[in-house]
């Protein structure tokens, strides 16, 4: 590396160790971390949640939450040691010399203050400028980060900006005092692909123009491939490998780096299963699998007729009121789903892809009856769902379709034990004859999704995100459904966990002959999972195609645009 | 916003009509008003004439309609006990209760909010812990007990403060105030504090919990990462966000200060509406009870309306954006 030069590195970290003492003992969040960053360089720190990536950023900022503390090591900014500085001195470095961007732009801004007030406050804290100078500069900054109409927008409140625009505001705030170092903690994780590309472009441009050094923390190999010059790979609080991005992405030395890269769904071809390397958190695959030909779960799978088409959606339209008013003509509506029609064949995995707000989740909610459509018809297994007037009458059909939600943290009732969560649909639809049978089924289901029957007596908060998603899957299977709606089932998960969950879903689909509606914004995931795909934009279904032909010969401009934005990693053969 | 306020107003009217119905039913089912108005030697014919005159033979919906009409003009009838118009009685007592409630609301908010902020920001310091313990005592002791303790200490033992009444009052128009004389202020001190204790401790705990929540949010972390001054973060960003949800509860609490004044007023023999109400109950003075009921409901409805409008002022997310 560049250590031999006379001028010190912009940021230099040696032997960093961060500890969080707790009642159960000391948790080491990061240890033996060595990093250096040059001006104009973009360094990626990659790893899974809990690997200690963010801890490094907080340590640099001197913002580790007590009782956590930096137990060893030193951090130098241009040769000058900044760890352990008195509070007031450190405060003057934060924002002024080191800026930081957070993951979620929706929660990073004070909702009660205008963007201008927040920018002006930040600048006037660090720079000797007047109120009116600061205001002028605020407008200029918003222009720099690519917000159209900055002079007008500066007076707006955060909620008046979209997610991508808010992240631009956050960036404007972080660079408002021209810091030398910018720390970006998962800056694009909460954003759509097209917005992600724009934000990454912006960050890259700012680093080049202003000669800043940037550390970008992410779990997304695509982001690493896109913008970084060098990468550091973190695994269980240690830095296992550092080197030029090109080399790590193609020829990683450490087995963990290799497994991490293998777990990323390839964008350019379809693979049978995701390779799971032993380095990844134990998959629990050695749990007893059920013999489905004899088990309850496999029974009654003969749903009578074997129609060609299981689900047919015709001319489905749904709108939400965005401005309520007493006078109907003054009401404003947003059409979330606009005359959508498609059909899903028996045993097929049908994908819906689109950016947030494209209406794909609304379609799922309409099908499973969470919302009522404004117009249009939904046919399921030869019966018209939309024709049923009461929910009860449609129960026998609803039993056959189940949904898995995106957020594994809010889709399970925290006050219920896992056993009761999984048993609830069995009891509701009266699918078992006795309590003892319900229990047996629940523990078999938990075994089958790879959690182990012992999970039954615990509460959801004791499980990680991936494990919770397994609980959701077990709950969905508990009614012996034939149709599964998966709404972004893995987008809240780490890549290695995502690989496990996708493998599980693939297995279940094959074993049980399930039909699936698989919703995702992630094209590589869609490519791995789906037989046919529909592309949605602004509530309209633009095209439906066989997955492979969609990727090789897209028919609409929008699909081509989406495909172009898809982060691609060069891989070693 | 207009739509929102119009809807809230409509709801308020509905609430008031419901309360009016309850008040009206009081007349119907709690005792016979004629018996309460006349003495033993009134003839049956006389009673029947009176009954006809007062409209008591009309069908209940018609009676209710007349009742609502009278009430909306401020006519609550004549007190059975004092033989005076209820509206006048209430107007006489109203300033006393309002002054008491106002001062204790100011006490509760003025001490409660800063203490809540302090205990949230310096969770581990001794004063914060001490205060939290004390607030537990405040929340668990019944109001009348606190009042009696205060009387014992400051009235009987130390003889610093008067133990009952309002002291000297000054009349400004129909409003009588004790805030302008020394004895009036002295008399106000103990009842106001007694009334404030419970609300104060509740507000402390509420503000503390909410503030701790806000301090964990991303925008506070981001404000720290921008190197803003601690004071600006705590009071410029955190406090304002804390107050948004707290306002609702505070509004309801101010309402209940007025309603809870009953107990405090009877402990300190404070000549307010609460005392009037207690006396009315013991003598089944229904017009007074009904009027009090309606008045308290009105106070709650008005406070809630103000709280809803305050939301708009504080939280830009609720204002209609283009």
Segments of chain B scoring below 70 in pLDDT: 1, 30-33, 36-37, 319-322
Chain centroid to Cα B30, Å, comes to 26
Q: Token digits for A516? A: 């699936």
Least Cα separation, residue A92 to chain B (angstroms): 6
Sheet holding A309-323, edge to edge: A332-345, A309-323, A375-380, A383-384
Contacts of B217 in chain A (CB under 8 A): 107
Q: Which residue of B has its CA nearest to A58?
A: B225
Closest CA to B89 of B303, B296, B302, B289: B289
Write down the domain spans for chain B.
Answer: 2-72, 86-314
Q: Averaged over A407-414, what is the pLDDT? A: 86
SS3 A239: strand
Count the Cβ atoms, other than its own, within 10 Å of residue A374. Answer: 15
Q: By the 8 A CB rule, do A182 and A214 touch?
A: yes
Whole-number Cα distances in Å, A439 to A32, A297, A423:
48, 13, 8
**CA-to-CA distance for B309 and B76, rounded, in angstroms?**
30
Report pLDDT for B37: 67
The three-point CA angle B117-B123-B129 to 5° equals: 100
- Given a cut of 90, whether residue A274 has pLDDT beyond it is no
pLDDT in tens, A19-52: 988 887 888 888 899 999 999 999 999 988 778 8
User: Over pLDDT 70: what percentage of chain A?
Assistant: 91
CB A354 within 8 A of CB A535: yes
What residues in A contact B320, CB-CB < 8 Å?
Answer: 323
pLDDT in the model for residue B83 = 81
Q: How far apart are CA A538 and CA A355, in angstroms?
A: 9
Alpha-carbon distance A293 to A512, whole Å?
10
The partner residue sitting opposite A102, judged by closest CB among B221, B230, B321, is: B221
Chain A hits for B221, CB-CB cut-off 8 Å, are 63, 102
Contact A160/B321, CB-based, under 8 Å? Answer: yes
Chain A within 8 Å of B224 (Cβ-Cβ)?
yes
d(CA A42, CA A45) in angstroms, rounded, equals 10
pLDDT at residue A517 in the model: 94
Whether the CB of B2 is below 8 Å from some CB of chain A: the reply is no
Alpha helix (H) residue ranges in A211-357: 221-227, 245-250, 255-262
Q: Which CATH number fits domain B86-314: 3.30.230.70, 1.10.3720.10, 2.60.40.10, 1.10.150.130?
A: 1.10.3720.10
Range list for CATH 3.40.50.300 in chain A: 11-262, 308-323+330-400+481-565
Local confidence band at A392 (pLDDT 50, 70, 90 cut-offs)? confident
For residue A95, which residues of chain B lie inside 8 Å, CB to CB? 225-228
* Domain A11-262 indexed as CATH 3.40.50.300: yes
- Model pLDDT, residue A284: 46
Least confident range of A108-112, A178-182, B6-10, B234-238? B6-10
ipTM of model:
0.76
pLDDT band at A285 (very low <50, low <70, confident <90, very high): very low
pLDDT at A278: 55
A122:B226 CB<8 A: yes
Classify strands A483-487 and A515-520 as parallel, antiparallel or unpaired. parallel
Listed by number, the residues of chain B in 243-282 with a beta carbon closer than 8 Å to a beta carbon of chain A are: 244
Edge-first strand order for the sheet with A11-22 is A80-81, A69-77, A11-22, A25-37, A238-244, A230-235, A42-46, A213-218, A181-185, A98-101
Q: What is the pLDDT of residue A512?
A: 85
The alpha carbon of residue B121 and the mean position of all alpha carbons in its chain are separated, in whole angstroms, by 30
Q: When comparing pLDDT for A190 and A216, which is higher? A: A216
Contact indicator for A342, A544 with CB cutoff of 8 Å: yes
As a whole number, mean pLDDT of residues A373-399 equals 84
The answer to whether B317 contacts A324, with C-beta atoms less than 8 Å apart, is no
Shortest Cα–Cα distance, A150 to chain B (Å): 17
- Alpha-carbon distance of A81 to B267, in angstroms, equals 66
Residues 3-42 of B with CB under 8 A from A: 3, 6
Angle made by CA atoms A516, A518, A522, in degrees to the nearest 5: 155
A390, pLDDT greater than 80:
no
Gap from B65 CA to chain A (nearest CA, Å): 28
Residue pLDDT, tens place only, B76-102: 888 877 888 888 888 888 888 888 898
Helices (H), A417-464: 418-428, 435-448
Chain B residue with minimum CA distance to A61: B225
Within 8 A by CB and 6+ apart from A310, the residues are A344, A345, A346, A348, A380, A381, A482, A483, A515
> Minimal CA–CA distance to A468: which of A531, A418, A397, A433?
A418
Which contacts (CB < 8 Å, 24+ apart) does range A367-370 have?
A367/A311, A367/A313, A367/A401, A367/A485, A367/A517, A368/A398, A368/A401, A368/A402, A368/A403, A368/A485, A369/A394, A369/A398
Identify the pLDDT of residue A573: 39
The first and second tokens of residue B28, run together, are: 């119907």
Instruction: Judge whether B223 is closer than 8 Å to chain A, CB to CB.
Output: yes
Burial of A223 (0-12, 13-18, 19+ CB in 10 A): buried
Contact B222 A102 (CB under 8 A): yes
Q: Which residues in chain B are closer than 8 Å to A326, comparing Cβ atoms? A: 3, 6
Contact B244 A112 (CB under 8 A): yes
Residue range A75-94, pLDDT digits in tens: 999 989 998 889 899 999 99
**DSSP-derived secondary structure letter, A159:** G
Residues of chain A with a CB closer than 8 angstroms to some CB in chain B: 61, 63, 91-96, 99-100, 102-104, 107-114, 121-122, 125-126, 157, 159-160, 170, 173-174, 323-326
User: How many residues in total does chain B contain?
Assistant: 322
- A287-296, A320-329, B18-27 — which one is most confidently predicted on average? B18-27
Cβ atoms of A239 and A233 within 8 Å: the answer is yes
Distance in angstroms between the alpha carbons of the first and the last residue of chain A: 27
Q: Is B63 exposed, middle or buried (0-12, 13-18, 19+ CB in 10 A)?
A: middle
For domain A308-323+330-400+481-565, give the CATH superfamily.
P-loop containing nucleotide triphosphate hydrolases (3.40.50.300)
Average pLDDT over residues A471-488: 91
């Amino acid at each position: 590396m560049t250590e031999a030069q006379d001028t010190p590195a912009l940021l230099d970290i040696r032997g960093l160790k961060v500890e969080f003492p707790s009642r159960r003992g000391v948790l080491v969040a990061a240890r033996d971390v060595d990093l250096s960053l040059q001006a104009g360089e973009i360094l990626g720190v990659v790893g899974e949640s809990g690997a200690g990536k963010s801890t490094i950023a907080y340590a640099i900022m001197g913002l580790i939450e007590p009782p956590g503390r930096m137990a060893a090591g030193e951090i130098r900014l241009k040769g000058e040691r900044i760890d352990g500085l008195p509070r007031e001195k450190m405060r003057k470095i934060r924002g002024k010399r080191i800026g930081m961007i957070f993951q979620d732009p929706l929660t990073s801004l004070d909702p009660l203050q205008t963007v201008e007030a927040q920018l002006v406050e930040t600048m006037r804290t660090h720079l000797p400028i007047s109120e009116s100078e600061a205001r002028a500069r605020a407008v200029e900054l918003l222009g720099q980060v690519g917000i159209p109409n900055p002079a007008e927008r500066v007076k707006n409140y955060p909620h008046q900006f979209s997610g991508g625009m808010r992240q631009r505001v956050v960036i404007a705030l972080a660079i408002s005092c021209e810091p030398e170092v910018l720390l970006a903690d998962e800056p694009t994780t909460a954003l759509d692909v097209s917005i992600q590309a724009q934000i990454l472009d912006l960050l890259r441009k700012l680093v080049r123009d202003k000669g800043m050094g940037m550390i970008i923390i992410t779990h997304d190999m695509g982001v690493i491939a896109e913008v970084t010059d060098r990468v550091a790979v973190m695994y269980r609080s240690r830095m296992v490998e550092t080197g030029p991005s090109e080399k790590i992405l193609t020829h990683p030395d450490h087995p963990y780096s290799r497994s991490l890269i293998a777990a990323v769904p390839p964008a350019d071809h379809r693979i049978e299963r995701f390779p799971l390397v032993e380095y990844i958190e134990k998959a629990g695959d050695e749990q007893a699998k059920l013999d489905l030909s004899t088990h309850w779960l496999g029974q009654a799978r003969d749903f009578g007729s074997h129609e060609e088409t299981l689900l047919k959606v015709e001319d489905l339209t749904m709108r939400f009121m965005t401005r309520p008013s007493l006078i109907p003509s003054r009401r404003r509506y947003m059409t979330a789903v606009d005359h959508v029609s498609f059909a899903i064949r028996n045993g097929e995995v049908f994908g819906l892809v689109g950016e947030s707000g494209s209406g794909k989740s609304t379609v799922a909610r309409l099908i499973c009856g969470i919302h009522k459509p404004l117009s249009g018809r939904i046919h399921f297994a030869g019966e018209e769902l939309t024709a049923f007037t009461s929910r009860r009458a449609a129960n026998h059909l609803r039993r056959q379709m189940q949904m898995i939600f995106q957020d594994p943290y809010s889709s399970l009732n925290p006050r219920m034990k896992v056993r009761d969560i999984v048993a609830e649909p069995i009891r509701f639809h009266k699918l078992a004859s006795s309590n003892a049978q319900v229990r047996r089924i629940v523990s078999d289901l938990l075994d089958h999704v790879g959690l182990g029957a012992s999970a039954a007596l615990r509460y959801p908060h004791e499980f990680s995100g991936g494990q919770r998603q397994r609980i959701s899957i077990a709950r969905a299977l508990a009614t012996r459904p034939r149709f599964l709606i998966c709404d972004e089932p893995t987008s809240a998960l780490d890549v290695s966990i995502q690989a496990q969950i996708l493998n599980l879903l693939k297995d279940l689909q094959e074993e049980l002959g399930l039909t699936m509606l698989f919703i995702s914004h992630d094209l590589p995931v869609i490519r791995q999972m789906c037989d046919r795909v529909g592309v949605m934009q602004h509530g309209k279904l633009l095209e439906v195609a066989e997955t492979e032909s969609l990727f090789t010969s897209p028919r609409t401009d929008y699909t081509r645009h989406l495909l172009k934005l898809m982060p691609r990693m060069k891989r070693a053969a | 916003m207009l739509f929102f306020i119009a809807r809230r107003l409509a709801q308020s009217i509905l609430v008031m009509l419901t309360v009016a119905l309850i008040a009206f039913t009081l007349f119907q089912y709690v005792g016979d008003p004629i018996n309460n108005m006349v003495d033993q030697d009134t003839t049956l014919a006389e009673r029947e004439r009176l009954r006809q005159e007062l409209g008591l033979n009309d069908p209940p919906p018609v009676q209710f309609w007349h009742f609502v009409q009278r009430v909306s003009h401020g006519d609550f009838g004549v007190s059975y006990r004092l033989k005076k118009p209820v509206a006048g009685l209430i107007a006489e007592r109203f300033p006393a209760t309002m002054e008491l409630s106002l001062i204790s609301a100011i006490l509760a908010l003025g001490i409660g909010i800063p203490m809540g902020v302090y205990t949230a920001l310096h969770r581990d310091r001794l004063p914060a812990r001490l205060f939290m313990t004390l607030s537990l005592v405040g929340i668990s002791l019944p109001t009348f007990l606190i009042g009696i303790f205060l009387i014992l200490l400051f009235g009987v033992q130390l003889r610093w403060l008067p133990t009952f009444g309002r002291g000297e009052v000054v009349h400004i128009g129909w409003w009588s105030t004790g805030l302008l004389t020394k004895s009036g202020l002295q008399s106000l001190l103990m009842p106001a504090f007694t009334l404030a204790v419970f609300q104060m401790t509740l507000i402390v705990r509420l503000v503390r919990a909410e503030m701790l929540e806000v301090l964990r949010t991303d925008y506070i972390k981001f404000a720290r990462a921008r190197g803003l001054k601690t004071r600006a973060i705590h009071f410029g960003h955190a406090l304002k966000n804390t107050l948004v949800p707290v306002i609702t509860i505070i509004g309801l609490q101010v309402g209940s200060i007025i309603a809870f004044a009953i107990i405090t007023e009877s402990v300190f023999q404070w000549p307010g509406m609460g005392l009037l109400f207690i006396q009315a109950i013991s003598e089944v003075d229904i017009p007074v009870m009904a009027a009090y009921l309606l008045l308290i409901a009105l106070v709650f409805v008005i406070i809630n309306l103000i709280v809803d409008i305050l939301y708009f002022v504080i939280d830009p997310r609720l204002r209609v954006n283009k």
